[in-house]
Amino acid sequence: MSDAFGRMWKRPDEVLSMVPTPEEFTELVDTIVDRYDIPYIDAIIEICEHFDREIESIGSLITPKIKLALTEEASKSKLLRDNSFALDRLG
């Protein structure tokens, strides 16, 4: 997975030294999810590894769209007993 992900950064317009806004982060996550057909959590982890960031440091970049996708994936994988708790917190 990491090799395939690394190849995506060949195009200069996709190389970012940092992801400054939640909207740009969401766009990057969506691009990786769509391009590589991987779960959102895996895309987020790959981005953190690529930019050498701790996963705990990106909380402010997680948008409601990503929260919803993560909740749905966790629910489908039966990692959550009841997804209504997480969905209620999205506002």
Residue 82's contacts (CB-CB under 8 Å, 6 or more residues apart) are: none
| pLDDT recorded at residue 75 | 82
Q: What is the pTM of this model?
A: 0.69
Percentage of the chain surpassing pLDDT 90? 37
Say if residues 40 and 69 touch (Cβ distance below 8 Å). yes
Is residue 13 exposed (0-12), middle (13-18) or buried (19+ Cβ within 10 Å)?
exposed
Other C-beta atoms within 10 Å of 62: how many? 16
* Residue 77: pLDDT band with limits 50, 70, 90: confident
Per-residue pLDDT averaged across 16-40, rounded? 85
How far from the centroid of its chain's Cα atoms is residue 63's Cα? 10
Percentage of the chain surpassing pLDDT 70? 64
User: DSSP strand E in the chain: where?
Assistant: none
